[in-house]
């Protein structure tokens, strides 16, 4: 039974019913465990939008009460008599931002329906002793690392449609994306099968994109509508690509070998990749391009389960075979090489040091002395949660005189001495992100099922559901109006 705007069921005596409103739910939940703490029902402006009753299975005669608030949905068993009211939490509440809904289509026969839905425990009853020929399921999917899937049943198709529509409307009220978030589709149905995308990089002020796939390097022009990507290099198993535009160098990691390709500008809208690459490193696990001590650098990491070797190359305009756009020359020369007695997950360039992430956390290496030290201040008691083994360090961003450290479970700030800053600010991620992009004050956390957007200053949260999502590249550049653009490419 769907109760829109908290309408009361007319078939029950008035003296036996409680008044199901926000204050009643607040009172009933005060004695509950911390599972409901995140409901934040005491916040200003909180609303109980509507309630509904669904069944858990075909043989269950009791109802599950669905309570839909302006920000979350709660499943509960509510019981009462003349002297008391009681609420039991059926499943953990789901924030509407992390909720996906689906209606499973019905099969033609009862037998096929049971076979199809048995893995969900999916059955329906119209009464205690009969089996209905119809079922109107609603599947609730809680996204995130603490998520779950729950299938309940409406008593009619009309109730099913109504509840799904009401929850969908409430959910969409929350999905007001920031003005700076402008998603655009750059390719559809081209990259599949052997052309599966492994990496991508925009260049030429974002007007072009290079894609690395299992069967070659492809180029697309974003200025041309419906442009079909063109294969420009026949290289197998490309794992990572990047471009040093200032030095006209294309870097390609394929089959664990890192090579640099010279680029030659043909005219204002075209370029050519010279077919005489230089091998920088064999047995390379991954590489990173960045700026350190005022110089453009490339770090190449050979990482094993117990140790890593990192080579740092410096870009320059020394003599080489590649001709640059302005008629000069380009090159990458080996600057430093050092050994780390641990597996390395990622590398990041800071102002004067290199930071790498391992199971011990973030550590920094001086390029002058090659001295290594832990980034976090280990005697800072407020960092105990981050110093424990468990959460994996992923990404670091410098913001003025602070560093934003991003882990699979949380993000937080430290100062240049590794002490915790902004003590009241800790971003606990709903999912388990594997990559991040920053467009301050917004941070984007990518995992396979959704993108989580957080406003670092205002605390706003937005969830963008996706399927089999991967972040391929993040970079910043100036557009044609000289505005800074932070661009993330996902697939």
What is the model's pLDDT at position 327?
A: 41
Find all residues with CB under 8 Å of 192, minimum gap 6, and list them.
Answer: none
Q: Count the neighbouring beta carbons within 10 Å of the beta carbon of residue 425.
A: 14
Per-residue tokens: 67: 């309570």
Separation of alpha carbons 61 and 63, rounded Å:
7
What 3 state SS string does 397-454 have? EEECCEEEEEECCEEEEEECCCCEECCCCCEECCCCCCEEEEECCEEEEECCCEEEEE
What is the model's pLDDT at position 341?
A: 93
What is the model's pLDDT at position 19?
A: 64
Asked if 439 and 474 count as a contact pair (C-beta separation under 8 A), the reply is: no
Q: Which residue has better confidence, 372 or 390?
A: 372
Q: Count the neighbouring beta carbons within 10 Å of the beta carbon of residue 329.
A: 16
List pLDDT tens digits, range 454-471: 999 888 888 888 888 888
Q: Which residue has better confidence, 124 or 222?
A: 222
What is the model's pLDDT at position 37?
A: 57
List pLDDT tens digits, range 69-115: 999 999 988 877 666 777 888 999 999 989 999 887 444 343 333 33
Residue 316 to residues 259, 275, 329, 441, 442, Cα–Cα distance (Å):
16, 21, 8, 34, 34
For the purposes of burial, counting CB atoms within 10 Å of the CB of 40, is it exposed (0-12), middle (13-18) or buried (19 or more)? exposed
Quick check: bond before 441 cis, omega within 30? yes
What three-state secondary structure class fits 106? coil
Residue 123 confidence (pLDDT) above 60: no
Instruction: With cut-offs at 50, 70 and 90, classify the pLDDT of residue 195.
Output: confident
Separation of alpha carbons 168 and 172, rounded Å:
6
Share of the chain above pLDDT 90, in %: 45
What is the model's pLDDT at position 82?
A: 64
What is the model's pLDDT at position 38?
A: 66
List pLDDT tens digits, range 30-64: 766 656 656 888 888 888 988 888 998 877 777 89
Lowest-confidence range among 249-258, 297-306, 389-398?
Answer: 389-398
Which residues are bridge partners to 148 per DSSP?
A: none
What three-state secondary structure class fits 168? helix
Average pLDDT taken over every residue of the chain? 81
Residue 335 confidence (pLDDT) above 50: yes
Asked if 452 and 409 count as a contact pair (C-beta separation under 8 A), the reply is: no
Asked if 200 and 209 count as a contact pair (C-beta separation under 8 A), the reply is: yes
What is the model's pLDDT at position 479?
A: 52
Separation of alpha carbons 112 and 311, rounded Å:
60
Residue 221 confidence (pLDDT) above 80: yes
Per-residue tokens: 49: 């939008």
The domain ranges of the chain are: 2-174, 247-355+362-375
Asked if 383 and 376 count as a contact pair (C-beta separation under 8 A), the reply is: yes
C-alpha neighbours within 13 Å on the C-beta side of residue 423: 5
Dihedral over Cα of 376, 382, 387, 393: its sign: negative
Instruction: With cut-offs at 50, 70 and 90, classify the pLDDT of residue 393.
Output: very high
Separation of alpha carbons 189 and 229, rounded Å:
11
Separation of alpha carbons 137 and 47, rounded Å:
26
Separation of alpha carbons 315 and 57, rounded Å:
65
Find all residues with CB under 8 Å of 57, minimum gap 6, and list them.
Answer: 121, 123, 124, 125, 153
- E strands in 268-340: 270-273, 278-282, 286-292, 295-303, 308-316, 331-340
Find all residues with CB under 8 Å of 300, minimum gap 6, and list them.
Answer: 258, 280, 281, 284, 287, 310, 311, 312, 313
Asked if 479 and 185 count as a contact pair (C-beta separation under 8 A), the reply is: no
Residue 392 to residues 264, 300, 345, 421, Cα–Cα distance (Å):
41, 21, 9, 20
Picking from 87, 1, 101, 3, the residue whose alpha carbon sits closest to that of residue 39 is 87
Separation of alpha carbons 171 and 464, rounded Å:
12
Asked if 279 and 311 count as a contact pair (C-beta separation under 8 A), the reply is: no
The CATH number given to 2-174 is 2.30.29.30
Separation of alpha carbons 476 and 486, rounded Å:
4
Per-residue tokens: 235: 């290289």
Instruction: With cut-offs at 50, 70 and 90, classify the pLDDT of residue 131.
Output: very low
CA trace torsion 19, 20, 26, 29 (10° rounding): 110
Separation of alpha carbons 278 and 421, rounded Å:
44
Separation of alpha carbons 408 and 102, rounded Å:
28
Share of the chain above pLDDT 70, in %: 79
List pLDDT tens digits, range 144-181: 998 999 999 998 889 999 999 998 888 888 776 666 67
Rg, Å, the chain Cα set: 28
Distance between start and end Cα atoms, the chain:
41
Find all residues with CB under 8 Å of 406, minimum gap 6, and list them.
Answer: 393, 394, 395, 396, 397, 433, 436, 443, 445
Supply φ then ψ for residue 161, to 5 degrees: -60, -45
Q: Full-prediction pTM beyond 0.85?
A: no
């Amino acid at each position: 039974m769907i109760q829109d705007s908290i309408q009361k069921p007319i078939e029950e005596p008035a003296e036996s019913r409680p008044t199901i409103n926000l204050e009643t739910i607040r009172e009933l939940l005060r004695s509950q465990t911390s599972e409901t703490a995140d409901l934040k029902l005491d916040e200003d402006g909180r609303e109980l939008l509507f309630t509904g009753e669904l069944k858990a299975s075909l043989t269950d005669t009791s109802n599950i009460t669905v309570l839909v608030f302006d920000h979350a949905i709660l499943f509960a068993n509510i019981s009462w008599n003349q002297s008391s009211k009681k609420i039991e939490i059926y499943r953990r509440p789901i924030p509407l931002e992390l909720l996906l809904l689906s209606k499973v289509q019905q099969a033609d026969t009862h037998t096929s329906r049971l076979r199809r839905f048995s893995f969900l425990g999916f059955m329906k009853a119209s009464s205690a002793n009969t089996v209905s020929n119809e079922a109107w399921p609603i599947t609730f999917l809680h996204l995130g690392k603490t998520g779950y899937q729950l299938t309940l049943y409406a008593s009619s198709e009309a109730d099913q449609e109504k509840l799904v529509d009401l929850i969908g409307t409430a959910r969409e009220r929350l999905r007001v994306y920031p003005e700076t978030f402008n998603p655009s589709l750059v390719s559809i149905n081209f990259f599949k099968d052997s052309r599966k995308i492994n990496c991508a990089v925009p260049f030429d002020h974002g007007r072009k994109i290079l894609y690395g796939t299992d069967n070659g390097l492809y180029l697309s022009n974003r200025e041309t509508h419906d442009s079909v990507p063109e294969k420009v290099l026949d290289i197998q198993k490309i794992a990572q690509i990047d471009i040093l535009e200032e030095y006209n160098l294309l870097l390609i990691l394929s089959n664990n070998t890192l090579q640099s390709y010279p680029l030659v500008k043909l005219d204002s809208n075209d370029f050519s990749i010279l077919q005489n690459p230089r091998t920088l490193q064999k047995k390379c696990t991954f590489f990173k391009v960045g700026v350190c001590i005022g110089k453009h650098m490339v770090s190449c990491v050979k990482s094993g389960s117990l140790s890593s070797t990192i080579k740092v190359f410096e870009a320059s305009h020394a003599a080489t075979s590649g001709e640059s756009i302005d008629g000069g020359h380009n090159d990458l020369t080996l600057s430093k090489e050092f050994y780390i007695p641990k597996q390395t997950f990622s590398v990041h360039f800071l102002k004067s040091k290199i930071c790498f992430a391992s199971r011990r956390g973030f550590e920094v290496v001086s390029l002058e002395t090659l001295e290594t030290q832990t980034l976090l201040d280990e005697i800072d008691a407020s960092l105990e949660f981050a110093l424990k083994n468990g959460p994996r360090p992923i990404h670091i961003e410098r913001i003025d005189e602070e560093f934003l450290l991003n882990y699979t479970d949380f993000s937080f700030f430290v100062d240049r001495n590794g002490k915790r800053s902004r003590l009241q600010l800790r971003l606990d991620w709903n999912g388990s992100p594997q990559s991040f992009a920053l467009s301050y004050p917004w941070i984007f956390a990518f995992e396979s099922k959704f993108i989580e957007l957080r406003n670092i200053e205002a605390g706003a949260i937005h969830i963008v559901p996706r399927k089999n999502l991967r972040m391929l590249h993040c970079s910043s550049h100036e557009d044609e109006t000289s505005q800074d653009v932070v661009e993330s490419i996902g697939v």
